[in-house]
Amino acid sequence: MVARLQVGEALHLRLVCAQATTGSAVSFASEATGAVLPFYVFASDGISYAQPVRKTLLVVGVGQREGVLVRFAVPGRVLIMQGIINDFQGTGGGQGPGPNSTDRVAAYIDVVAASQPGLPTGPPLEQLQFTPGMGNATIAPADIGAQLGVRFEVNSDLSRVPSPQFVIGGRPFDYKAITATLPARGAAQWTLTSNMNYFHPFHIHVNPFVVKSVVTGYAPGSSLFERAIVETNTVPPNKWRDTIFIPPLGSTTIWQHFGHGRVNAWQGKTVYHCHFLDHEDQGMMAAFLLTGPDQPFRESD
């Protein structure tokens, strides 16, 4: 891909990690100098923030989407860099950005002189204001009525096919099994863990969630890469998402409400799963049930 952009002109990029079994580390760099160039993110998974946030590196898993804004002050070619992050141990690219990065060029932006110099370019990108995608929706500690744990596990029983075996909490997916029953219009805290050196993009259907914390257990590469794993999902604070990249041997905590304050809160059976296609296709998926608000929380055995 090659895009053409004038100096001072703002460009909106819709970034989606659409790979099947790998994540991506994404950054921008000057072809002429190699300098890392900042950019701004104003939405995650289709849910906008109140204001854009400055970034230098994003680390995204399959299914994660980011709304990106860029503006450049000098002419020249800008490289959109991509590091491929394998699920196992996070090996591959994603060590940069920087001169020793193993990342590769995914696309170019050719920045040219403005056709009419001196025209106003608008306020700095970080000063733009947006309508938050979730409005005034919040989750308070007192709203949390259930605590749920999701353990992404990979077993290596060579006597079984397929091998390795991708499971959640020791169990492969069974469409007849309900792992938990939760009241619609309630709220829950999920603790998501990867118990081996695998990345897992966790995705849950129907209702988005608030990211409360990300803990890296094993993050090969630079401190910038490790910091980007956390900040892609936690900056700005209390970011709304529907997919989150769990680091190898790491954990995340999310708060989710199920139609809180809505008359038409969805009820019925839905699922959560790892968004790596080979992981979910081999069993890393589970179902849960949302019932009427008068039903108590129950976690299945």
Residue at a domain's end among 127, 159, 175:
127
The mean per-residue pLDDT over the stretch 84-92 comes to: 70
Verify that 216 and 98 share a domain, yes or no: no
Query: In which domain, by residue range, is 163 found?
Result: 141-299
Q: What is the mean pLDDT of residues 133-137?
A: 88
Could you tell me if residue 248 is inside a domain? yes
Beta bridge partners of 59: 25
Which of 70, 105, 127 lies at the terminal end of a domain, its last residue? 127
CATH code of the domain in which 63 resides: 2.60.40.420
How long is the chain?
Answer: 301
Task: Return the pLDDT at 159.
Answer: 81
Burial per residue of 243-277, b for 16 or more beta-carbon CB atoms within 10 angstroms, e otherwise: bbbbbbbbbbbbbbbbbbeeeebebeebbbbbbbe
Using the predicted structure, report yes or no on whether residue 224 has a pLDDT greater than 90: no
Beta bridge partners, 192, equal 150, 252
pLDDT, tens digit, 9 for 90 and up, residues 53-76? 999 999 999 999 999 999 999 999
Q: Which residues face 271 on adjacent strands?
A: 287
Tell whether 84 is covered by a domain: yes
Residue 36 CA to residue 14 CA, distance in Å, equals: 20
DSSP bridge partners of 23? 85
> What percent of the chain is modeled with pLDDT above 70?
89
Give residue 260's pLDDT. Answer: 67
Considering its fold, how many domains does the chain have in total?
2
Residue 7 lies in a domain: yes
Greater model confidence, 296 or 87: 87
pLDDT band at 279 (very low <50, low <70, confident <90, very high): very high
pLDDT surpassing 60 at residue 112: yes
Condensed to tens digits (0 to 9), the pLDDT of residues 146-201 reads: 999 999 999 887 787 777 889 999 999 999 999 999 998 899 999 999 988 889 99
Per-residue buried b or exposed e for 127-157, using 16+ beta carbons within 10 Å of the residue's own CB: eeeeeebeeeeebeeeeeebebebebbbeee
Which residue do the tokens 């989150």 mark?
244
DSSP of 68-130? EEE--SS-EEEEEEEEEEETBTT-BS-S-SSTT---EEEEEEEEE--SSTT----S-GGG---
How many CB atoms are located within 10 Å of the residue 175 CB? 9
* pLDDT for residue 295 is more than 90: no
Flag whether 153 is in a domain. yes
Quickly state the pLDDT bin for 82 (edges 50, 70, 90): very high
Contact 195, 152 (CB under 8 A): yes
| Tens digit of each residue's pLDDT (9 = 90 or more) over 7-30 | 999 999 999 999 998 999 999 999
Dump pLDDT digits (tens) for 117-131.
Answer: 766 678 999 999 999
DSSP state of 196: S
